[in-house]
Amino acid sequence: MKIQLKSLLFSALLFGSLLMPAMAQTLQPDDATRTLRWVSPSLVEVTITSHEITQKGFYLLRNQSIVRHGSWTLWTNGDKTMAASYDKGELEWLQHPNGKQYTAADIKRQRGQNPTPNLIVD
């Protein structure tokens, strides 16, 4: 079952890349470097770097699916530009570059007032 979950994770994250036996791997498709590190049997730390942009976060294997979990951070040229926190796939809050934090309820309320395709949050 663990092998199936790992295969599912790698397929979803890396769009069909081959599962390597190492605990961490680095791939470089499309000018991006993706590094996966197994933190526990059900938690994977992901770091994606493309030119000046780096994103880091965690995926949780849950009920044979993959969900964001814990903190996710986006940096541009080494400066933190965005942060978010997830609890088992559910967005808890999002921190805007201006430092203001928005809860999932804030975002849902704003979408209802002014729906826009430019604000996309899982």
Max CA separation in the chain (angstroms): 49
- Of 107, 68, 73, 104, which is closest to residue 89 (Cα–Cα)? 68
How far is it, in rounded angstroms, from Cα 68 to Cα 45? Answer: 10
Give pLDDT, residue 27: 44
Whole-model pTM over 0.75: no
DSSP string spanning 86-97? EETTEEEEEE-T
pLDDT tens track for 12-70: 444 333 333 333 444 445 678 999 999 999 999 999 999 899 999 999 998 889 999 99
When pLDDT is averaged across residues 61-85 and rounded to a whole number, the result is 92
How far is it, in rounded angstroms, from Cα 103 to Cα 82? Answer: 14
pLDDT band at 2, cuts 50/70/90? very low
Radius of gyration of the chain (CA): 16
